[in-house]
Amino acid sequence: MKHRISKRVALALAMCVTCVLAFGATFVRADVNSKPKVSNLTIKLAGSDSGDSQVKDLGTEAELYLVAYANPDDNYDTYNYDFEGTQFESLKSDFNQQTYTSDDWKELVGKVKAFVDDKDNNIQPDKTVKVGDPIDLQNGLYLVIIPNTANDKYSFTFEPVLVSLPGKTIDPATQQPYTTTDKGEWTNDVTATYRINVKWSMEPRKGGLKINKTVSSFNGEPATFTFLIEGKTDAGDYQNYAAVQFDSAGVHSTTVNGIPAGYEYTVTEIDSGAGYQTDGANAQKVTVVADQTADVQTAEVSFNNVPNDSGKQGYGIENHFVFDRETGNWNPEKREINKPSNSSNE
């Protein structure tokens, strides 16, 4: 009887040991010391490697905000995020790393960006780096913001991005770094290398062109002077018309607004007014600059006219062109010039 009990006890013990080993097989103990403590990040603008990219030589800087520290898990092959001690500590109650879906991560980007934009929070970037230059960063969750900027032709806006450092770095198929950090294999390097591509959008900048017309001597009847504005832009040929109406000698002006900025245009006086002739050149070249700051002046050209003693008189029609955003075309809109005061074409 004792012999049979002993065999049962031994069998039960063996089964228990087997259970422990089976459970232990699903438990991955991490080698914390082998995990990278610092990551190397390069921020690029999507498509900037293309030779004709509008953002290739933009020279922008990125602001990096440490949202949470990344601490290696003592037991599992992963990292845990800790908001404690960061500028975003008050957001930690909204964060649940274990249950977050891709939509939750997108929502978190908006929350963190709004927190930065709130001036009352006085959030300052932890690091600033020129786009395209690598930077070593303590592992963590970072918000990347590239402030809006502009060149002489376009205004640029950039999408905010949350970057997880470190992440899975190597794509087994290509052996190239991932541009996102949710796949691949961990690196055992002391410093892991990553890159991200920031999405961007641009809008053409617009400017104004002021045309000054001087009539040194008035022949007694109203006259209309018409001008053709032509130029080549990235979007294609630009053409518009402007007119100035006179009922007395002196200087009158008209301003054409909404012209694509950063390009050179030729302004030609195509109708010198009945009874008048151009005194000097009837065409001038000018570069239109974007309207943004007080120290940037509207581009100007000036023309002089004198009576030609022909006795001809008359009014005119101004062919005004309006840009259609849906079709991308400039459509004519004729309107009569019926008063001699200064006018403005929008």
**CB-based contact 246:341 (threshold 8 Å):** no
Q: Which CATH architecture has domain 205-345?
A: Sandwich (2.60)
Of the candidates 240, 238, 215, the one whose C-alpha atom is nearest the C-alpha of residue 318 is 240
Instruction: Give domain limits for the chain.
Output: 28-203, 205-345
Walk along the chain (346 residues) and give the pLDDT tens digit of each residue: 444 444 443 333 233 322 222 222 333 444 556 666 888 889 999 888 776 678 877 889 999 999 999 888 888 777 888 999 999 999 988 788 778 777 888 888 999 999 999 999 999 999 999 999 999 999 899 999 999 999 999 999 999 999 888 865 444 455 444 444 444 444 545 566 788 889 999 999 999 999 999 888 877 777 888 999 999 999 999 999 999 888 888 898 999 999 999 999 999 999 876 678 888 888 999 999 987 655 556 888 998 888 776 554 444 444 555 556 566 555 555 444 434 334 344 4
Provide the 8-state DSSP code for 35: S
Whether 200 contacts 158, CB under 8 Å: yes
Q: What is the largest CA-CA distance in the chain?
A: 141
Name the pTM for this structure: 0.70
Round to whole Å and give the CA distance between 19 and 16.
5
Instruction: Give the Cα separation of 179 and 185 in Å (integer).
Output: 13
Which amino acid would we find at residue 292? Q
How do beta strands 299-307 and 206-215 pair? parallel
